[in-house]
Structure 1
Amino acid sequence: MTQPTPNFDGANRPKSLSNYVGQHRLKAKLEVYISAAKGRAQALDHTLLFGPPGLGKTTLAHIIANELGVGIKVTSGPAIEKPGDLAAILTNSLEEGDVLFIDEIHRLGRVAEEHLYPAMEDFKLDIVIGQGPAARSIQLPIPRFTLIGATTRPGLITTPMRSRFGIIEHLEFYSPEEIALSLMREAILQGIEIEPDAALEIGARSRGTMRIAKNLLNRVRDYAQVAGENSIGIERAKDALDKMGLDTVGLNERDLKLLEVMILKFAGGPVGLDTLATAISEDSLTIEDVYEPYLIQLGFIKRTARGRMVTPLAYDHLGYAVPQDMLLD
């Protein structure tokens, strides 16, 4: 069994579930699953983590490995181009009980995915020896391991692949308070002085996403440093975030343009995704993966069978009068 890695990619990531901020329901379940697996001296069931980018899927994978006391091999779906790449990882990089983390697992090639099935189920790898009529297949035993897959697009995971995960969990957006708590810890690690209300202001404009929050903390620090300030206060945080083009809930110019186009050009909707993408000169996947998750979380837009629609909350936020017919719905 490989020893757990003491540091994760040099980042200031938490190393235990107890130090991981937020995702309380998910953490409670993982604590049970990990404790049970350790009690049986077995590998944890294969786990699929899904949710928008920046919510901590990679961090959780490292934490799970650390809590299990095992090593972790990190790769991504696009990096496994052919079955040979997968075979090299499974036979050379893993020891008994280790974690194999595949980010963007929805981008795993179909042939490589099919070779992963027997590895996940039976901990055996099908190897073809020879070519043509003389070719034969043998099964090579591999260490029992835990596959942790991460994806932002669970709908692209095939049914056969999904069915092989014993644990499937969704990561939620973080509250401003959870983000502020994490930022206070991050600031200590980086030697940044920040007032709690300033951290909360950054948290409120971080789209519920830890990765964005940490980037914003560094940018606000830049503004404070250039202004000759040793500590980040609430006024400096507000001023810096305003100058970065983020409104009070973290929407940027592209978010606001999307909402305004839906309101002014399409009367609030419904409008088809492709039509909306053309109207704002954006591709459909970017709207689905980047803009929509947070706008839906805020309750500013909703998806219907006829297309996307803006809600009264979005009208209020942008300062437009809510149509009477929308008030009657």
Structure 2
Amino acid sequence: MSEQTPGGFFSEVREADGSLDATARVVDPATSDDERVVEAALRPRRLSEFPGQPRVRQQLGLVLEAARRRGSPPDHVLLSGPPGLGKTTLAMIVAAELERPLRVTSGPAIQHAGDLAAVLSSLDEGEVLFLDEIHRMSRSAEEMLYLAMEDFRVDVVVGKGPGATAIPLELPPFTVVGATTRAGLLPAPLRDRFGFTGHLDFYDVADLVTILHRSAGLLGVEADADGVHEIAGRSRGTPRIANRLLRRVRDWAQVHGEGRVDQHAAREALALFDVDQAGLDRLDRAVLEALCRRFGGGPVGLSTLAVAVGEESDTVETVAEPYLVREGYILRTPRGRAATAAAWRHLGLPVPAHQAFQGALPIEDEGPGRFGT
């Protein structure tokens, strides 16, 4: 069973073979690497301190306050959205607001129903169970979780074959907080068992500025408004990226500057780390370069595009594409990926006539693209 450290930080635990430990014990920050400790220290501890996401914050606050007044655990909570927007932070805030312990594990760590049964059977009444990447749980574990979330019991199967028997195990009331970057992969029976679903969207620059000023204060870094705004504008609407860039600008300022995060330090540091004015990094620009220079703007299949930039298809699809699509640099069509007029302009290239209207392409043909599937 987990023990909470004075700092209250939780993290994944890996076995000697690299696999995740489903019991997910609490990790003492003193034993963690510096980067993880810094990220944990920058997390808000209360809902009132959580910047951005006003709709989700208000809805979740209502759910938690009503549960406190009833004196019972709140409904199960599902948080969805791209990586780095605060799903783990909100899970920790739920436990803090309820003043209950937090147990942390993840979908990849639960590959068998027995793994989940071990975690559930050790929960105390009112405890919060955080399941990160819940969409990656095994099917057998999902089916056990259905019953546990709805009836607070699990059936432990003893023996095999005709002599196997199911022993019902009653569980104390608890709250599941699930986090996923791909809510569409969750089976409907599992989604339906969450009483509250919150979708986190990308942050605007003003919210990121607020986050960066708070983080700079916690890090003991002197930062002016222009420097913070420069970082916020290149952070892709993601607090995790904003805080990471702030630490890199701090490093540059301490080594090459005057120790102050100003606009000059921000521009020089971000140029050094290949983050351009629009927040695009090396991989993003490689995707645009391949689309425009090698494939004439597309459409081109994902696998072919991934080979062209020297990355796995999953990396291109989950890391680069969401931001490029959201910002209007590429299109995902039935025939493949295609560059828009904005992509050509960002690279300083003349926009072809057939893409002059924001990259509009004929997409009625649902066959493969010109360059693969």
TMscore range, shorter length: over 0.9
Residue-pair matches, total: 327
Contact 1:130 1:136 in 2 (8 A): yes
Q: Separation in 1 of the partners of 2:226 and 2:8?
A: 30
| AA matched with 2:284 | D
Task: Note if 1:89 corresponds to 2:127.
Answer: no
Q: Separation in 1 of the partners of 2:52 and 2:5?
A: 23
Deviations 1:119-144 (A, max 9, x none): 01111111123344332112111011
| AA matched with 1:66 | A
Matched-pair identity in %:
51
Match of 2:195 among 166, 169, 190: 166
Aligned pairs for 1:253-268 within 5 A = 253-268=282-297
Match of 1:248 among 269, 273, 277: 277
1:6 Cα deviation from its structure 2 partner: 6.8
1:228 Cα deviation from its structure 2 partner: 5.1
> Where do 5+ consecutive residues of structure 2 fail to align?
10-28, 30-39, 361-373
In structure 1, the residue matched to 2:344 is: 315
1:307 Cα deviation from its structure 2 partner: 1.9
Q: Separation in 1 of the partners of 2:341 and 2:8?
A: 44
Task: Note if 1:299 corresponds to 2:298.
Answer: no
TM-score w.r.t. structure 1 length? 0.93
Match of 1:34 among 64, 68, 83: 64
Match of 1:221 among 250, 258, 274: 250
Match of 1:66 among 83, 96, 104: 96
1:38 Cα deviation from its structure 2 partner: 2.3
Change over 3 Å in CA distance of 1:194–1:152 after alignment to 2: same
1:185 Cα deviation from its structure 2 partner: 0.7
Q: Separation in 2 of the partners of 1:165 and 1:304?
A: 33
Aligned pairs for 1:1-329 within 5 A = 7-9=7-9, 10=29, 11-12=40-41, 13-92=43-122, 94-227=123-256, 229-328=258-357, 329=360
| AA matched with 2:348 | G
Q: Separation in 1 of the partners of 2:181 and 2:115?
A: 23
Contact 1:3 1:70 in 2 (8 A): no
Contact 1:273 1:284 in 2 (8 A): yes
1:97 Cα deviation from its structure 2 partner: 2.0
> Where do 5+ consecutive residues of structure 1 fail to align?
none
Bigger Cα displacement from structure 2, 60-69 vs 305-314: 305-314
1:69 Cα deviation from its structure 2 partner: 2.4
1:5 Cα deviation from its structure 2 partner: 8.0
Contact 1:97 1:145 in 2 (8 A): yes
Contact 1:104 1:152 in 2 (8 A): yes
Change over 3 Å in CA distance of 1:5–1:17 after alignment to 2: farther
